């Protein structure tokens, strides 16, 4: 069982630094494009998390906030460390741990005060750009404050709290234009506020225990409070304080909280987008979207601004991709478990896909099993915007290996058969650039539309058994026999392989 002995952002930064997983950027860097460009280059080079301490226009001596930290989750080793493991863990171990913790609950506790309320800014003193908010990419429409900020909302009737991750662009000193992709709790809350003709109270939390980002970036069933799940991961209650100007609760030792109200009145909307999204594309167009009016900013002494370069590219997955890879694999496994489908051995989501593709490894027990897996995933409300492509492989294929999965697709899939299954015009993802823009308009359709694909990369059971294939239905694989390996192991030194010092 991992030991999580750090419980705020500063402790997490110290942990990663002590393990060689965080570097400080002390040279001057500009918040306009340059900072985001460096983050993406470090992703590409598989480098450390970055603490920026010398940002243009934000000198340490005078700025309200002078430091920004990014990339905490941008490797599987750092995901493992931040979950409390001593070092990097295999995919299956992480998924099993998340499956266990997601089903546990520890209720939060309310405290009177906390470091996040050391400084309270209201009224005309509010200025979002007193914080080093970057323009992350040259194609971005503006400076994006909401990249890994965790947004707290609540049901106005039941008072149930919800924590999610949405994107937000600074419009002016006290407004944030917000893109909120439809999610279960948010949709329910929003419609209740709309029926009341009231704005939605919101609180953005920037920087706390990284487990908040790990939990907020995924989808839980209706009625689940993310603070209770965070408590289960932490092994103790989350200490919460009441916001100063909205009726919401936030972590007492968060770095910074932005409070306010999101208006649902179209006359108050502001132009937002495009933005270099997790897909790696700036695929949306400028659109009038709801804007939150900021009513207060609270923060600790010398706050650390938590943010990330969102765009994920080949060989350089985004931090968000790593945040959600394990969670979305675990959620898929949970769906399949609850559906009663046998033989599930492992479930993998690669960070570059952000959950768009899920790979399921099975011990195949009947021919229709992969189709049942796809149907269960596509029919689950908790999976509605992910798992566009479902790939099912046999137990001899490592689902975490692109090469192994590609081999299975090439030599176990017949494109002219029903090894490929397409499910058309179902629930899609509003950020998917492969879908026509008109199908990605939840305001018109209620939700985005898209098509889904099953790739059954398991060996077919429809071939006749052949004596030449050891009475199996599929040709044998040309792997070394155990006795061949033992022979090589015994004679390895005798081969005298020059210019190669590999040990068997």
Predicted local distance difference test score (pLDDT) of residue 5: 65
Closest residue by Cα to residue 231 from 108, 142, 75: 108
- Boundary (domain end) residue, out of 279, 306, 333: 306
Residue 53 contacts residue 66 (beta carbons within 8 Å): yes
For the beta carbon of residue 406, count every other beta carbon within 10 angstroms.
11
301 and 368 together in one domain: no
Q: Which residues contact 290 (CB under 8 A, 6 or more apart)?
A: 177, 178, 180, 262, 263, 264, 268, 269
Residue 318 contacts residue 175 (beta carbons within 8 Å): no
CATH number at residue 435: 3.40.1670.10
Give the position of tokens 């860097």.
29
Element (H, E) at 389: strand 389-393
CATH number at residue 145: 2.30.110.10
277 and 341 together in one domain: no
Q: Is residue 248 part of a domain?
A: yes
- What residue ranges of the chain have pLDDT lower than 70? 1, 3-5, 182-184, 443
117 and 227 together in one domain: yes
124 and 213 together in one domain: yes
Strand order in the sheet with 109-110: 109-110, 239-242, 249-251
281 and 148 together in one domain: yes
Cis peptide before 403 (omega within 30 of 0): no
Q: Is residue 369 part of a domain?
A: yes
Helix/strand/coil for 162: strand
Q: Is residue 30 part of a domain?
A: no
141 and 234 together in one domain: yes
- What are the phi and psi torsion angles at 190 (to 5°)? -55, -45
Q: Which residues contact 122 (CB under 8 A, 6 or more apart)?
A: 244, 245, 295, 296
Predicted local distance difference test score (pLDDT) of residue 433: 77
Strands 291-299 and 304-306: unpaired
199 and 295 together in one domain: yes
Q: Is residue 69 part of a domain?
A: no
116 and 139 together in one domain: yes
Residue 176 contacts residue 187 (beta carbons within 8 Å): no
Domain that holds residue 302: 89-306
288 and 151 together in one domain: yes
Give the position of tokens 């027990």.
365
Report the domain count for the chain: 2
Q: pLDDT tens digits for 48-97? A: 999 999 999 999 999 999 999 999 999 999 999 999 999 999 999 999 99
114 and 240 together in one domain: yes
- β-strand partners of 472: 466
Predicted local distance difference test score (pLDDT) of residue 3: 61
Predicted local distance difference test score (pLDDT) of residue 4: 65
- Classify the C-alpha dihedral 228-230-235-239 as positive or negative: negative
DSSP-derived secondary structure for 235-297: TSPPEEEE-SSSS-EEETT-SEEEEEEE---GGG-EEE-----TTS---S--EEE-EEEEEEE
């Amino acid at each position: 069982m991992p030991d999580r002995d750090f419980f705020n952002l500063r402790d997490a930064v110290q942990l990663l630094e002590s393990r060689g997983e965080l570097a400080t950027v002390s040279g001057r860097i500009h918040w306009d494009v340059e900072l985001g460009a460096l983050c993406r280059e470090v992703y590409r080079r598989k480098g450390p998390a970055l603490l920026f301490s010398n940002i243009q226009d934000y000198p340490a001596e005078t700025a309200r906030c002078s430091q920004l930290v990014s990339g905490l989750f941008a490797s599987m080793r750092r995901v493992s460390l931040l979950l409390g493991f001593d070092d990097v863990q295999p995919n299956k171990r992480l998924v099993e741990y998340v499956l266990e913790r997601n089903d546990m609950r520890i209720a939060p506790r309310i405290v009177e005060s906390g470091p996040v309320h050391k400084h309270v800014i209201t009224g005309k003193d509010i200025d979002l750009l007193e914080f080093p908010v970057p323009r992350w990419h040259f194609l971005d429409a503006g400076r994006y404050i909401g990249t890994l900020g965790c947004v707290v909302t609540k049901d106005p009737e039941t008072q149930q709290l919800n924590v999610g991750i949405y994107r937000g662009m600074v419009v002016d000193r006290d407004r944030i234009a917000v893109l909120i992709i439809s999610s279960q709790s948010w949709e329910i809350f929003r419609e209740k506020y709309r029926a009341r003709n009231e704005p939605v109270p919101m609180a953005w939390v920037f920087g706390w225990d990284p487990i908040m980002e790990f939990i907020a970036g995924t989808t839980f069933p209706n009625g689940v409070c993310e603070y209770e799940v965070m408590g289960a991961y932490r092994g103790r209650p989350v200490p919460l304080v009441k916001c100063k100007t909205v009726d919401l609760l936030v972590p007492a030792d968060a770095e910074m909280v932005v409070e306010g109200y999101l208006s649902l009145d179209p006359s108050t909307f502001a132009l937002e987008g495009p933005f270099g999204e997790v897909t790696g594309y700036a695929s949306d167009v400028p659109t009038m979207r709801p804007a939150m009016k900021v009513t207060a900013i609270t923060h600790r002494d010398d706050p650390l601004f938590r943010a990330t370069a969102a765009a994920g590219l080949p060989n350089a997955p985004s931090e968000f991709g790593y945040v959600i890879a394990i969670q979305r694999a675990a959620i898929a496994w949970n769906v399949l478990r609850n559906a009663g489908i046998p033989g599930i051995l492992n479930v993998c989501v690669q960070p570059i896909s952000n959950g768009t593709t899920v790979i399921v490894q099975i011990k195949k027990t009947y021919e229709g099993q992969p189709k049942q897996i796809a149907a269960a995933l596509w029919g689950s409300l908790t999976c509605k915007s992910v798992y566009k492509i479902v790939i099912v492989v046999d137990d001899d294929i490592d689902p975490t290996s692109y090469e192994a999965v590609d081999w299975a697709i090439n030599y176990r899939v017949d494109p002219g058969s029903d090894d490929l299954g397409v499910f058309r015009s179902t629930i899609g993802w509003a950020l998917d650039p492969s879908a026509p823009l008109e199908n990605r308009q939840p305001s018109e359709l209620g939700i985005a539309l898209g098509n889904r694909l099953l790739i059954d990369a398991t060996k077919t059971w429809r071939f006749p058994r052949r004596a030449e294939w050891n009475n199996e239905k599929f040709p044998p694989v040309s792997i070394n026999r155990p006795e061949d390996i033992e022979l090589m192991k015994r004679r390895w030194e005798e081969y005298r392989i020059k210019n190669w010092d590999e040990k068997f």
